[in-house]
Structure 1
Amino acid sequence: MAELLIKDLYKTYTKNKKPVPAVKSLNLSCRDGEFIAFLGPSGCGKSTTLRMIAGLEDVTSGEIVIGGTVVNHLHPSKRNVGLAFENYALYPPLSIYENIAFNLRAKKTPEADIKRQVEKIAELLHINELLDMKPAALSGGQKQRVNIARAIVRRPGVLLLDEPLSHLDGKMRQSMRTELKRLHTEIKSTSIIVTHDQSEAMALADRIAIINEGVLQQYGTPLEVYNKPANEFVAGFIGEPPMNLFTVTAVTEPTGEPVFQIDGSDIRFKVPPAYRAKVRASQPYRFGIRPTDIRIVSGSDPATLTTKVAIFENLGEECRLHIRINEMLLSMVTSENVSFKAGDEIHLLFREERIHLFDPVTGNRL
């Protein structure tokens, strides 16, 4: 195991003779034995960062420190990292045993030690019965287990997983996700997984680094990034279904009470007490509320939003309702046994303690 530090890391490519930044001033630390997820949309720089840690990409500027040693200029084989690619990268002519043993043989490990280590890692990943087979005979999930076994057989200080579950179907992804969590607990390796699947990151990681356009947006525990998103991007990226985000303007009722009015509509609801000192009359704000934080009520509460159902979905374990406001759909999720049809009037209440407000210019949380 090893602690990983990334200090002011930059990566710039040249395209049409112009510099194109892929990673911009990235700073984060990964504690010894911690499981970290790099999360973000495609092209945000997360895989590029992983490849720089592994030594497969040169660093433009900044430092990568593994176990107290700056590794910027070290060969990948000298960095004490293991890397599992998303495309398996197994050697078709070799048996599974030989695939796993390949790196150990390259290091001239004694044959008895190779046998002991391969059998131990095969047992850990439940692939003992596959050792005599060739990769072509394996399923996607089995290939990914072998891929990970080959990465960790040398007991690297840092284990790097580059979207290892992306090629698997839904059921197999769920199964492998559980296996990765179990594996991390057993080997206690410092691990980093790259993924664009927020559910995967939330389930696996001790902390999540959310990246967009090469810039770190937030770094925290799954609950921190879910409950207190640093900005509008994080709020919209974390959560399934995604957070409802729309523009509101603060206005003052004739009674003197401050309310939010949804832009482009006549729908109003009162400003929660926690935000009354922060909002200014006639100023726009980006308002966020998760679908699970909206309740169906009778309509007697003055804070309710009265509108009509546009779409109703009964998914068995939960129901989803969608309310059309101009071109926007406001979504909510409830576990209650309810039934609606399009056009039905409905009264909704936002949980005040779960409301999020963001600056419309910077996107930062208020």
Structure 2
Amino acid sequence: MFSRNARGLLDFSLVLLCVWTAWHHTPAGALVRRTAAWAFGGRSTARPVLAYYKGVSGSGVSAPALAPVAPPLRPFNDSEALAYGTHLALKGLSPAARAPALELAEELGVAPASLLDEARGPSAARRLHEALAESFPQEESRLTAVFAGRVPARYAVERVAAEGGTPNLERLARQLPPGFEDSTVAAAQALALATAFGLAWPVPEHTPVTSPFGYRLHPVLGTRKLHTGVDLSVRVGTEVHAVSDATVRRASEDGVNGRVLILDHGRGVTTAYCHNSELLVRPGQRVTRGELIARSGNTGRSTGPHLHYQLELSSQPVDPLRFRPRSNSVVDGSAR
């Protein structure tokens, strides 16, 4: 089919492609790049080797590890949620990766150390966003400026605009120079955290939590397993509402989750609603915050009527109670 010369050229091209892939997208390539950077005193853009095996960020910090230690005292507005998410993402970065943000803070008159302080961090991050708002009016371009610095962010915004695209994090990340991988991951984490802080609750606020997030003795299997959501004690037929605008990614039934819905809220945030008696939406459908999406039940692997509500950031489950204002939380000691 091909001449000998053409086959030789094709084979050579495939070899080059394999070498490039191994260099940039395998643990071995990452290890070699890190070692070479250390040996010659340069800086490597390779992800940590463990990032190839685990769901971790470029800075080696998983999304669940960035969740707040305690839930907020009151509901956040959009700017407060973004500031708190920025503070948490900064704390998760290595000292080298957070350097651009701290330098920018000092330049704009915000004490760099306050950004990492548990008590002052959210308000300091909010002042940083306010100082950048005129130059970077869109949230995602502003986050890029916070984590990567103003000059790289401005360049990325201008390049995206020249191509006629919307300056979202994905497009901006492609336009940043090499070496800003941790910055773009942290910006995405901050945006996901901010989105999680803005979620509503799927059932009435006073509903007791009968089984919280975390490891427990499974009530059916009798083994110690991670409970990846919270169980909310509601009667069969209780209305279940979307906690924010979303696209329905799954509306199906299985032997474990029963009748289950999964909603995609964008920005790496999804929520799941399990054990329902009735599903009222279909895959691909757009739903709005507060919209009736299901009626609770006792389907699947369940010991009694309840709703299992699950929150995931970057495909990793986190405790939804950490993002819910304390004044709204009701916890019951019994398990489901």
TM range (shorter): under 0.3
Whose strand fraction is larger, Structure 1's or Structure 2's?
Answer: 1
TM-score of the superposed pair, with normalisation by structure 2:
0.26
Whose helix fraction is larger, Structure 1's or Structure 2's?
Answer: 2
Which is higher, the Rg of structure 1 or of structure 2? Answer: 1
